[in-house]
Amino acid sequence: MATGTDQVVGLGLVAVSLIIFTYYTAWVILLPFIDSQHVIHKYFLPRAYAVAIPLAAGLLLLLFVGLFITYVMLKSERVTKKTQ
Amino acid sequence: MTKLVQWLWVLAILGSTWVALTTGALGLELPLSCQEVLWPLPAYMLVSAGCYALDTVGCHVATFHDCEDATRKLQSQIQEAQADLARSGLRF
């Protein structure tokens, strides 16, 4: 078995993914079938956010990946310019 | 048929089914709760795929075996190589 921090990090990732999955499944799939007067609807945002939040998160991720690539490319360009 | 073409086919079929059902092009009268479940489904698929990927990575990080013997052998080999090269005059 992997040592200390590896196990903690791995199990942490699994826990996070399970939490996100169950919350999102309940939001998208279970909630429409529950009576709109039930108290559980208090714990979930309006339905439009179920698409808006993952979309915004995906765009942010793409933005960060693009910025990282730009940064690495600029850095390597500066290094080659120095050695020329 | 390559894997990419297969995946694109599956995506195209599922996508067109979803579009047909959400725009009511098939003329089916789905109950309101079913329609409510249907329209966020692409986002739901993406989020579940992301969660599955995160889960797999987490499992593999947690169960990766450390190879104690290989580590020790490799480190001793590195030290041997360093001593050898230092003797031949290469400076680190």
Q: Which residues in B lie closer than 8 A to residue A32 (C-beta atoms)?
A: 32-34, 36-37
ipTM surpassing 0.90:
no
The pLDDT, as a whole number, for residue B33 is 81
pLDDT band at B78 (very low <50, low <70, confident <90, very high): very high
Angstrom distance (rounded) from CA B34 to CA B3: 32
Enter the tokens of residue B61.
């990080």
The first and second tokens of residue B13, run together, are 């079929």
How close is the nearest chain B Cα to the Cα of A36, in Å? 11
| Mean pLDDT of the A50-76 span | 93
Instruction: Spell out the domain ranges in chain A.
Output: 4-83
What is residue B27's predicted lDDT score, i.e. its pLDDT? 73
Q: Which of A2-16, B4-18, B62-76 has the highest mean pLDDT?
A: B4-18
Binning pLDDT at 50, 70 and 90, where does residue A2 land?
low
Q: How many CB atoms lie within 10 A of CB A52?
A: 13
Structure token digits, residue A75: 């850095």
- Cα angle for residues A76, A77, A79 (degrees, 5° grid): 65
CA distance B70 to A14: 29
